[in-house]
């Protein structure tokens, strides 16, 4: 038993609640970049620029040419649980956008110097709002800018010392962002990307118009060797579709650094899915060697739960086992030993 004095229960001030919740969504600069890129993609943009200073520790800016946010909604966009992407449980169940929680901008803006600028097709100028992590918003005020949205995040975590302590050197944070950006670029061929770090253009990929530009993008991101030592695959059942490139067993790696799997266009980190793919290669790779692949798995949205974790890294399938089987068998079929007749692919 402790004898601390009884304290009255009080609701946390809104901004403090946001800062606490922010911890789940924004762990480091790369997670802020992920959220901002997802928003840009959800807005229908086909050109996206990412500007970083000092690995994002000092500044992150994501600029898109998407549909923009109306002036009257700017302040709503940065408030918690406000979203234009779902309005009901029915819509959540079938969600196709990358975002839906309505938390990212509220979270990020509570732990940074933050400016949101946007212009829709109906506006004669852009409008912007800004705050310094304290919930005191300035604006909307007119500003210069093309159609689309720009979000600028300066001094991430400046007002949450515990979190700021865990920021690593700019180089380390930059590498994390670069990995993430690579994944996003791979999964959105129809979008052009620029990544600029400390004023230097690090990546510049035009939107893919055709098969050739897609091959070029793959070459640019994974290297010529992967392109030459991989197979393009496509497997379908009534419900599930798997496409992409699987590295041949001869092209194996000492690390899992060239394994890219996307589920319904989302970057996922799912141990079960990775394991299924590891098994697919088990017979054709030496122990300790790792496969390279870029795979896109698409399932009907209502069979997928993307709301497992605030950062949306993990997913669950309504028919977990069968999906893992589908993945394992398809890839094994492409790269490994022929399947025994009894194992032939059965759509569940």
135 binds ligand ADP (CB under 6 A): no
Return the H-helix or E-strand segment holding 113.
strand 113-119
Q: Which does 84 bind (CB under 5 to 8 A by kind): Mg ion, ligand ADP, none?
A: ligand ADP
Q: Which does 152 bind (CB under 5 to 8 A by kind): Mg ion, ligand ADP, none?
A: none
> Shortest Cβ distance from residue 200 to ligand ADP (Å)?
24
Helical spans, DSSP H, in the chain:
14-25, 29-42, 74-77, 89-93, 104-110, 161-164, 170-187, 211-222, 224-228, 271-281, 320-335
39 binds Mg ion (CB under 5 A): yes
- How far does the chain reach from its first CA to its final CA, in angstroms? 56
> Shortest Cβ distance from residue 101 to ligand ADP (Å)?
4
Find the residue with minimal CB distance to ligand ADP: 99
Instruction: Output 84 or 198, the one with its CB closest to ligand ADP.
Output: 84
* β-pair partners for 200: 197
Calpha distance 133→323 (Å, rounded): 43
Find the residue with minimal CB distance to Mg ion: 99
Instruction: Output 129 or 331, the one with its CB closest to ligand ADP.
Output: 129
> Shortest Cβ distance from residue 317 to ligand ADP (Å)?
22
CB 49 within 8 A of CB 194: yes
> Shortest Cβ distance from residue 70 to ligand ADP (Å)?
9
Stretch that binds Mg ion, among 73-81, 98-106, 185-193, 244-252 (CB under 5 A): 98-106
Chain centre to alpha carbon of residue 243: 19
Closest by CA position to 195, among listed 39, 297, 47, 10: 47
* β-pair partners for 154: 59, 113
104 binds Mg ion (CB under 5 A): yes
Q: Which does 112 bind (CB under 5 to 8 A by kind): Mg ion, ligand ADP, none?
A: none
66 binds Mg ion (CB under 5 A): no
Collapse the DSSP code of 177 into the 3-class scheme (helix H, G, I; strand E, B; otherwise coil) and give the result: helix
70 binds ligand ADP (CB under 6 A): no
Q: Using CB under 5 A, count the residues that bind Mg ion.
A: 3
313 binds ligand ADP (CB under 6 A): no
Calpha distance 245→76 (Å, rounded): 41
Q: What is the DSSP letter of 160?
A: -
Q: Using CB under 6 A, count the residues that bind ligand ADP.
A: 22
Apex 326 CA angle, 235 and 179, nearest 5: 80
149 binds ligand ADP (CB under 6 A): yes
Quote the tokens at residue 246: 């699987």
Give the DSSP per-residue string, 234-284.
EEE-SS-EEEEEEE-TTS-BSSSTTEEEEETTEE---HHHHHHHHHHHTTT
Instruction: Output 28 or 34, the one with its CB closest to ligand ADP.
Output: 34
Among 55, 56, 99, 170, binds Mg ion (CB under 5 A): 99
Collapse the DSSP code of 154 into the 3-class scheme (helix H, G, I; strand E, B; otherwise coil) and give the result: strand
Stretch that binds ligand ADP, among 80-88, 193-201, 301-309, 328-336 (CB under 6 A): 80-88
Q: Which does 69 bind (CB under 5 to 8 A by kind): ligand ADP, Mg ion, none?
A: ligand ADP
Instruction: Output 85 or 319, the one with its CB closest to ligand ADP.
Output: 85
Kindly report the number of other CB atoms within 10 A of residue 168's CB atom.
Answer: 14
Calpha distance 245→133 (Å, rounded): 43
Binding mask 25-64 for ligand ADP (x = CB under 6 A): ----------x---xx--x--------------------x
244 binds ligand ADP (CB under 6 A): no
Instruction: Output 129 or 277, the one with its CB closest to Mg ion.
Output: 129
Residues lying near Mg ion in the complex (CB under 5 A): 39, 99, 104
Residues lying near ligand ADP in the complex (CB under 6 A): 35, 39-40, 43, 64, 66-69, 77, 83-85, 99-106, 149
């Amino acid at each position: 038993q402790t004898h601390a004095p009884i304290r009255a229960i009080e609701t946390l001030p809104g901004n403090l609640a946001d800062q606490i919740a922010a911890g789940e969504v924004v762990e480091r600069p790369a997670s802020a970049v992920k959220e901002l890129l997802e928003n840009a993609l959800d807005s229908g943009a086909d050109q996206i620029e990412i500007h970083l200073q000092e690995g994002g520790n000092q500044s992150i800016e994501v600029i898109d040419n998407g549909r923009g946010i109306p002036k009257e909604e700017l302040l709503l966009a940065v408030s918690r649980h406000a979203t234009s992407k779902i309005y009901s449980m029915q819509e959540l169940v079938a969600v196709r956008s990358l975002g839906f929680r309505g938390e990212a901008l509220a979270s990020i803006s509570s732990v940074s110097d933050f400016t949101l600028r946007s212009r829709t097709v109906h506006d004669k100028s852009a409008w912007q709002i800004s705050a310094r992590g304290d919930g005191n918003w300035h604006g909307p005020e007119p500003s210069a800018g093309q159609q689309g949205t720009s979000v600028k995040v300066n001094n991430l975590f400046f007002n949450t010392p515990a979190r700021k302590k865990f920021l690593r050197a700019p180089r380390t944070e930059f590498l994390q962002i670069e990995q993430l950006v690579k994944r996003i670029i791979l999964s959105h061929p129809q979008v052009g990307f620029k990544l600029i770090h400390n004023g230097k253009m690090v990546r510049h990929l035009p939107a893919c118009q055709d098969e050739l530009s897609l091959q070029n993008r793959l070459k640019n991101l994974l290297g010529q060797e992967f392109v030459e030592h991989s197979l393009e695959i496509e497997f379908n059942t009534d419900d599930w579709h798997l496409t992409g490139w699987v590295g041949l067993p001869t092209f194996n790696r000492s690390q899992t650094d060239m394994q890219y799997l996307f589920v319904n266009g989302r970057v996922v980190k799912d141990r079960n899915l990775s394991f299924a793919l590891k098994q697919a290669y088990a017979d054709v790779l030496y122990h300790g060697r790792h496969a390279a692949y870029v795979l896109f798995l698409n399932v009907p949205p209502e069979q997928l739960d993307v709301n497992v974790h605030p950062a949306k890294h993990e997913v669950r399938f309504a028919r977990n086992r069968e999906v893992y089987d589908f993945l394992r068998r398809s890839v094994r079929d492409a790269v490994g030993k022929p399947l025994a007749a009894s194992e032939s692919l059965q759509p569940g």
